[in-house]
């Protein structure tokens, strides 16, 4: 299968995920005179087609005992509202009545983090039944669980980042703190906001009270004073939200009409890269498909050639590029170096380049197609651990905005060193062909099988050939499933899976968002480095 065909298959799957919980959930919303979450987004956004959705694959195949959980029951993404870029977090009530699963929480927290780093106003469209009780132990108590969302609401407010919430359905239990901690709160007639529903109130204190009296929109507007704007229905509520966004200070990032083009058509990517990541290619050609034509200035072009580094522009915005070279290269001494592998010289080069980008406050784009660091006697004697540690140090202390795109493999410590998820990229994206793991499926299966084979021999019960083949195949199948990028996307390891030919267009958008990141108030330094 070609990369283009693989991409088409992924796009079809994503279209299915956007259908949400199916006909029954849609019918329930209509019966309650409410819009579905996708209808709400269409009404809210200036251009729904321009909405960059985050975490669409969240929860994918993760909770089979509870049925499907499309998009983890919550929609997150960046879109224009009244000409201002906003982060939108919206419950999908067609999926488990908008209940929060563990991955729902993780998805919301990631959206909040991106919004905070990019100083984006946050709009919450609330329609949720609260925590999914069978999994409460995985949602409730930890530092990165449900309560962190409300803590973030308070931190956002203190930082001056606008937050507007609209309750257009249920808002129950601890989830009620989210909208009330926002700057402005809207609520539609027929919606409910309460810490405990009528049944729990009766059980707890013996009080009998109906839903409207307990936490209805009119009560909160007229009696408790919690609601700032009472709206008759979803459409009125969303139009009010648009008007309130229009009252915010102007967007500090202004778009330009200046036209910039890449050296190569983005569609050429499909000819360069294969769907199974086995094809070798010159990453310079890939860079030409992404950056502005004639803008790439390669840094240390003749040294550490398994990594390509350089300065460039995308849509007129200056950036640094760090990209794995997938072709085999030769050192100045004539030694052959394998494409996709980090050597001591390439790690040293990348460290210095990252330091310089921080010195001149230049955002960095990482194009990952890495199988790991070089191993063996020669590599160790060349100081591969020392050079790798230097790169990790520079990466860890970097203060400039970073965007990581996995265009092929992302294995082992190479994933870490080139701005993996743990190193705080502002956005981390992947192509459909991306593989995400400690090592490739073949190597992992061989390693795991060898361990099990040796254990069986120590017990005096060596594996018969048929059993050995079956065990090896099962190990490889399991690991292959886990390296599939959809597995990682389901768990929030990447923000989105994107079509390769849309990489440049998306980067142009994202670079405008990260311009808001307050890096000018921070100082870059690395601490102690092995030299």
Domain positions in the chain are 31-246, 266-434+494-521, 439-483
List, for residues 220-275, the tens digit of each pLDDT value: 999 999 999 999 999 999 999 999 999 998 877 766 656 788 988 999 999 999 99
Element housing 205 (H / E): helix 198-205
pLDDT at 259: 79
Element housing 310 (H / E): strand 307-314
pLDDT at 43: 97
Fold matches, 31-246 and 266-434+494-521: yes
Distance of alpha carbon 284 from alpha carbon 294, whole angstroms:
12
Residue 122: what are its φ and ψ, rounded to 5°?
A: -115, 130
Residue 154: what are its φ and ψ, rounded to 5°?
A: -70, -40
Residue 207: what are its φ and ψ, rounded to 5°?
A: -85, 135
CATH of domain 31-246: 3.90.226.10
Distance of alpha carbon 357 from alpha carbon 427, whole angstroms:
18
Residue 199: what are its φ and ψ, rounded to 5°?
A: -65, -45
The CA–CA distances, whole Å, from 368 to 39, 90, 229, 283, 418 equal: 36, 31, 47, 10, 7
Torsion of the alpha carbons at 306, 309, 312 and 318, rounded to the nearest 10: 140
Is the model's pTM score more than 0.85? yes
pLDDT at 441: 63
The candidate with the shortest Cα–Cα distance to 400, out of 363, 450, 374, is: 363
Q: Classify domain 266-434+494-521 at the CATH topology level.
A: 2-enoyl-CoA Hydratase; Chain A, domain 1 (3.90.226)
DSSP output for 398-437 = --S-EEEEEEEEEEHHHHHHTT-GGG--SEEEE-TT-EEE
pLDDT at 243: 97
Who contacts 203 (Cβ-Cβ below 8 Å, separation ≥6)?
A: none
Who contacts 398 (Cβ-Cβ below 8 Å, separation ≥6)?
A: 354, 357, 358, 364, 423, 524
Query: What average pLDDT values come out for the chain (531 residues) when binned by 10 residues?
Result: 96 96 93 96 97 98 95 97 97 95 97 96 95 89 90 95 96 86 96 83 82 89 95 98 94 70 92 95 97 96 97 96 95 91 95 96 97 90 92 95 97 92 96 86 64 72 73 74 93 97 96 84 83 75
């Amino acid at each position: 299968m070609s990369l283009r065909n693989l991409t088409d298959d992924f796009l079809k799957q994503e279209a299915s995920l956007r259908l949400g919980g199916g006909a029954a959930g849609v019918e329930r919303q209509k019966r309650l005179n409410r819009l579905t979450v996708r209808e709400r987004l269409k009404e809210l956004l200036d251009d729904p087609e321009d909405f960059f959705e985050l975490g669409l694959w969240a929860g994918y195949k993760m909770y089979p005992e509870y049925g499907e959980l499309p998009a983890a029951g919550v929609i997150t993404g960046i879109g224009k509202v009244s000409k201002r870029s906003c982060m939108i977090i919206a419950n999908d009530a067609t999926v488990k009545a908008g209940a929060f699963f563990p991955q729902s929480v993780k998805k919301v927290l990631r959206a909040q983090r991106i919004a905070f780093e990019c100083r984006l106003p946050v709009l919450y469209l609330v329609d949720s039944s609260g925590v999914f009780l069978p999994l409460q132990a995985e949602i409730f108590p930890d530092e990165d669980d449900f309560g962190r969302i409300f803590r973030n609401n308070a931190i956002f407010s203190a930082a001056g980042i606008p937050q507007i919430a609209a309750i257009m359905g249920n808002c129950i239990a601890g989830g009620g703190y989210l909208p009330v901690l926002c700057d402005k709160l809207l609520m539609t007639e027929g919606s409910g906001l309460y810490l405990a529903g009528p049944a729990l109130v009766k059980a707890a204190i013996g009080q009998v009270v109906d839903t409207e009296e307990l936490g209805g929109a009119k009560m909160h507007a007229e009696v408790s004073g919690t609601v700032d704007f009472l709206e008759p229905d979803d459409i009125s509520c969303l139009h009010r939200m648009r008007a309130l966004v229009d009252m915010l200070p102007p967007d500090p990032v202004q778009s330009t009409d200046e036209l910039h083009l890449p050296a190569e058509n983005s569609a050429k990517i499909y000819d360069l890269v294969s769907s199974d990541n086995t094809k070798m290619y010159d990453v310079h050609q890939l860079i030409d498909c992404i950056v502005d034509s004639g803008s790439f200035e390669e840094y240390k072009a003749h040294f550490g050639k398994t990594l390509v580094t350089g300065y460039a522009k995308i849509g007129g915005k200056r950036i640094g590029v760090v990209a794995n070279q997938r072709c085999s290269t030769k050192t100045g001494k004539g030694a052959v170096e394998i494409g996709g592998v980090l050597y001591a010289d390439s790690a040293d080069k990348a460290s210095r380049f990252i330091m310089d980008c921080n010195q001149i406050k230049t955002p960095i784009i990482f194009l990952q197609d890495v199988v790991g660091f070089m191993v063996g006697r020669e590599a160790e004697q060349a100081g591969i651990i020392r050079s790798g540690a230097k790169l990790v140090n520079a990466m860890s202390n970097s203060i400039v905005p970073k965007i990581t795109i996995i265009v092929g493999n992302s294995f082992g410590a190479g994933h870490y060193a080139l701005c993996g998820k743990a190193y705080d990229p502002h956005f981390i994206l992947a192509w459909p062909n991306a593989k995400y793991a400690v090592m490739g499926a073949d190597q992992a299966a061989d390693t795991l099988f060898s361990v099990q084979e040796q254990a069986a021999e120590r017990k005096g019960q060596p594996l018969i050939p048929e059993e050995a083949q079956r065990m090896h195949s099962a190990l490889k199948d399991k690991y292959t499933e886990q390296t599939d990028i959809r597995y990682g996307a389901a768990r929030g390891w990447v923000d989105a899976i994107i079509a390769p030919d849309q990489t440049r267009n998306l980067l142009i958008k994202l670079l405008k968002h990260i311009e808001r990141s307050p890096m000018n108030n921070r100082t870059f330094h690395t601490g102690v480095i092995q030299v």
